[in-house]
Amino acid sequence: MEDLSEESPDLDAKICSIVEGGNELDDEGKKTQALAAYIQAWELLPEPKLGWKLLTGWIAGSLYNFYFDNGDFKNLSIGLKLHSLAEVPNGIPGH
């Protein structure tokens, strides 16, 4: 997995800021804006999106927590799948 903070420090900082802002919005009960922030952060990740150390898992985990906390079990599986794939490089255990 690549480290975006080494490849593109400015983009890494921007994505981190967006996710942190999304977490704050979620804590404030501004659910629609929080979800928009998480999606914006995900969309800013360069391809392959699952290839970025830390950021991929953090964003996927934020989406998973958002859907779980809001009882959106239909979309919860999306966050869970992304988080699971982010934890395993290339989606293949042992690689």
Question: Hey, what domains does the chain have and what are their CATH numbers?
Answer: 4-91 (1.25.40)
**pLDDT computed for residue 80 by the predictor:** 67
Tell me which residue of 19, 13, 7 sits closest to 51, measured CA to CA.
7
Asked if residue 68 lies in contact with residue 80, where contact means CB atoms within 8 angstroms, the answer is: no
With helix as H, strand as E and coil as C, how does 11-55 read?
A: HHHHHHHHHHHHHHHHHCCCHHHHHHHHHHHHHHCCCCHHHECCH
Q: What does each of the 95 residues of the chain score in pLDDT, given as a tens digit?
A: 788 889 999 999 999 999 999 999 999 999 999 999 999 999 999 998 888 877 888 888 888 888 888 888 888 777 667 766 665 444 433 33
The rounded distance, in Å, linking the Cα atoms of 62 and 56 is 10
pLDDT of residue 91: 42
pLDDT at 53: 79
Q: Assign 6 to helix, strand or coil.
A: helix
pLDDT at residue 86, rounded to an integer: 65
